Amino acid sequence: MSVFLHVKDHYDFSIRAVKTVISVAGNLRREHPNLGQELICLRAIHEACVPRILQDDLKLFSDIVSDLFPNTKLEPASDGLLEKSLRIISNTKNLKDGLLISVFSCMRPLNFLLFCYEVLGAAITALEGQPSVRGGVYEAVQIYVLNPKSITVRQLYGEYDSQTHQWTEGVFSALIREGTTAVDKKKRWYMFDGPVDPVWIDGMNTVLDDNKKLCLPSGEVIKLTDVRWTFKFD
């Protein structure tokens, strides 16, 4: 796929992308057990990849996928109440039609997203009342927005004094602790509204990979629950 489409930094057709497609296919299989295998694969590829494809590459991408599944036709999928609710929000907030639907499609298989500034604002708008895909009940969403560059790394992750053996809680570690110990069923989104650089993002390595845990300077490890992460770039 990468041979035919334009070269873009955010295009990813590696093994990691294949894993995402497989994850989406598994979700579709559980949600729609009567769908055929080829149709599930086709839908999974579209749901995992299309939101990231530029408009100029979209037709070529669709043609390539159609050649892989010549006997399978993909009908436009509708999420019913979810799609209707997102379109209402888009119209109310004067957002581009289909933007929130694309954001939601990216959210389903991934635990973190990298947004440009405008899309980050749209995501926050949508998450303030995220419709459930199961039965039309609105799921509560707790949103934490912080600028990692407005404070030091020690203030962000916390600091352990080896001489006094005293631990000083950081802003991010405190928010994570609050989320992991909460007894409610709210979805939790942590939005980093600031420049991404190695100074602070290195501390997120084990958070963003399959380990899904936060390793603090004190040696404490906080296992993460159902959380999502978003990062903003200009």
**Domain count across the chain:** 2
Task: Tell me, yes or no, whether 202 and 223 share the same domain.
Answer: yes
Statement to judge: residues 40 and 124 lie in one domain: no
More confident site: 116 or 157:
157
In a domain, 224, yes or no: yes
- The answer as to whether 171 is a domain residue is yes
How far from 142 is each of 38, 96, 122, 146, 212, CA to CA, in Å? 37, 24, 16, 13, 19
- The answer as to whether 193 is a domain residue is yes
Indicate whether 62 and 159 sit together in one domain.
no
* Structural domain includes residue 7: no
pLDDT of 123 reads 58
Residues 117 and 139 in one domain: yes
Asked, for residue 150, whether it belongs to a domain, the answer is yes
| Domain presence at residue 90 | yes
For residues 108 and 194, state if they share a domain: yes
* 115 and 183 share one domain: yes
* C-beta separation of 164 from 171 below 8 A: no
Tokens of 115: 């947004």
Domain range enclosing 170: 81-233
pTM, entire model: 0.64
Is residue 87 domain-resident?
yes
48 and 144 assigned to the same domain: no
DSSP secondary structure string for all residues of 57-81: HHHHHHHHHHHHSTT---PPP--TH
- On whether both 25 and 99 belong to a single domain, the answer is no
For residue 12, pLDDT over 60 is answered with: yes
Is residue 92 located within the same domain as residue 26?
Answer: no
Are residues 85 and 60 both part of a single domain? no
Residue 206 is inside which H or E element, if any?
Answer: helix 205-208
pLDDT at 155: 94
Structure tokens at 189: 């989104």
d(CA 159, CA 76): 51
Q: Residue 133: what pLDDT?
A: 43
CA 36 to CA 150: how far, in whole Å? 50
Per-residue pLDDT, 158:
93
Lowest mean pLDDT among 95-109, 159-173, 183-197: 95-109
pLDDT tens-digit map of 98-148: 667 766 766 666 666 665 545 555 555 555 555 444 444 556 778 888 889
Statement: residue 80 has pLDDT above 70: no
**Residue 3 belongs to a domain:** no
